[in-house]
Amino acid sequence: MTMWWIWVGADLLVFHWVGFRLISADAWNLFSTRVPSLVPYLTFRMMLRWTFAIAVLFAMGWICHRGSQLLAQALASQTRQMSVRGATHAWTLSVLMTAIPGLLAWSSVEINMTRVPSRHALGVTGWFDNHGVDSQTKEQHVLPDPLFTSEDVTRRTRMLRFNVVQETQSLPPDILLIVVESLRPELVDPSVMPNTYSRAMRGLWMRRHHSGGNASSLGLFSLVSGLDAIWFYLADVRFSPAMNRLFEQAGYELGFFAGADDWEAFQMEAFIHADAYDTFDIGPRNGLASDRHAIDSAYTFLSRTDLPDGEQRSPRLAVLYLYATHAPFLVAPEHVRDLPSAGEDYPLPFGPDSRNAIWNRYRNSARTLDAMIAPLLNDANRLVAIVGDHGESFLEDGTIGHGTRLSATQVRTPAILFGPEVTQRKIDFNTSHADLLPTLLSLAKIQVSDPDSFDGIDLSADSPKPRVLAIADYLRPQALLISPSTIDSKVLGVHCKLTLRPPEIQIRGPRDARGYSLDSPAGFQSPRVVQEYFRRAFGKPRQQTAN
């Protein structure tokens, strides 16, 4: 019984941070494959806090164990050992008895554990569950026919491989793609990121933008491929980034700049490596100094004109990846304006009492980064895109950070485009990272042979037609399908278990902005959203603009 309560305490601690249970496939996946890649992000204060929590749990467990043993012995007859065994058996039986209701109604228990992460610990037993919570939506989740086959996936990958540049203009613009770690859309505000905000007001501003997924690898994949990140796990797609190939065919010189070198740990080495770029300048993380070096290198790359006399300079595409806004959120002293602001060694996981100070530190970090990139934003002839790689949760969905839940805070991020021939416009329908590559190609006047090979659409078109988005999950083979019609609805999207190879899809039902399950609202049909997405993805050629 003592070990049971130690386990419940540890389970609640983990669930408070990452949103899943210790006894789960998700936990095994995280601890067996993901933890080594996360070690560089651990701080001394974080490790101390976890060590202290574990020590307290075991101390409480020992005290309870010893107290129970002394009580059993005091109340026992002369055969004390048998009484201790009897008490142990009784406690074990009581634990099993509390689990029976949960096992009998497991589907309801699983939904409620996900829906309300702050519920009482005994919620895992099923005693407090509404057993009819899923009854209204079971029937409509049935899909009578397969939506796609292995042959469909093969055909799409062939389309991607054979998509080539057909025509370019004589003097295409330089392009700068700035990818900012863990950037939420609220930060594009004149009080936090004034330089970015002023450009957003003059350019193309995607106001309901989504990453390809809830982690860096998925977001970066969508940016360089023009595909939804459900394709990330197909190696033959991941190792052939369309952005690099098409811009190189258009005569561009490519550069990549970042203050980090851990791409392999997160499966990004397929499209971020020295052979994919003409200039590749990365290094180990070293606070703000790493970002400053990357910014200076990108500035030099885009400004350099040291060519032989008479030789025309090639257009350049620079990808700049910045880490200042990744936890623990790096801040220059002169930009500490939102107070109270937490220190760099703030505790993880943190509770509601600490959230405001940590949120202020996050805002100050974005303000620092905005000032650092300002010199790169002044060239009127340069086409610039600024996006986050994904979002960041600060307890809004019951978790901290990213990569753990398909919620609005973890997948929504800002996206703006400005430069020559970019029309000032705010786009208020749902967009995603997969739309950025087709849009950049269009703004650079680069025509490709098969624009339908992308999942994304050209957002610079006169009448871009919204589409269903597929947002992939970092830890699990699943996705959230977001329909254009969900903008004014409490539904964020339809949650599906999904793999492309082998083809498999199971509809789990609608989810709200926190990533929690919902009963289907009146008029909302999950299968209709799923069918619309796969009909477009694997059906006839798609139109990118409305008729």
Average pLDDT over residues 93-100: 66
- The C-alpha angle 13, 17, 18, rounded to 5 degrees, equals 115
Residue 442: name the closest of 282, 284, 247 by CA: 247
Distance between CA 363 and CA 361 in Å, rounded?
5
| Least confident segment among 60-64, 145-149, 269-273 | 60-64
Tokens of 251: 């005569």
Band of residue 312 on the pLDDT scale cut at 50, 70, 90: confident
- Give the pLDDT confidence score for residue 41 in this predicted structure: 57
End-to-end C-alpha distance for the chain, whole angstroms: 67
Tokens of 287: 């606070």
pTM: 0.82
Q: Bigger pLDDT: 45 or 390?
A: 390
DSSP code for 254:
E
Segment holding 378, helix H or strand E: none
Q: Bigger pLDDT: 101 or 162?
A: 162
- The percent of residues in the chain predicted with pLDDT above 90, rounded, is 57
Band of residue 399 on the pLDDT scale cut at 50, 70, 90: confident
pLDDT tens profile 348-389: 778 888 999 999 999 999 999 999 999 999 999 999 999 999
Other C-beta atoms closer than 10 Å to the C-beta of 252 total 23
Segment holding 474, helix H or strand E: none
| Ramachandran angles phi, psi of 170, nearest 5° | -70, -40
- CA dihedral in degrees (313, 314, 317, 320; nearest 10)? -30
Residue 370: name the closest of 187, 211, 219, 204 by CA: 187
Contact 129/108 with Cβ under 8 angstroms?
Answer: yes
Segment holding 342, helix H or strand E: none
Contact 232/218 with Cβ under 8 angstroms?
Answer: yes
- Give the pLDDT confidence score for residue 82 in this predicted structure: 56
Residue 525: name the closest of 546, 484, 494 by CA: 494
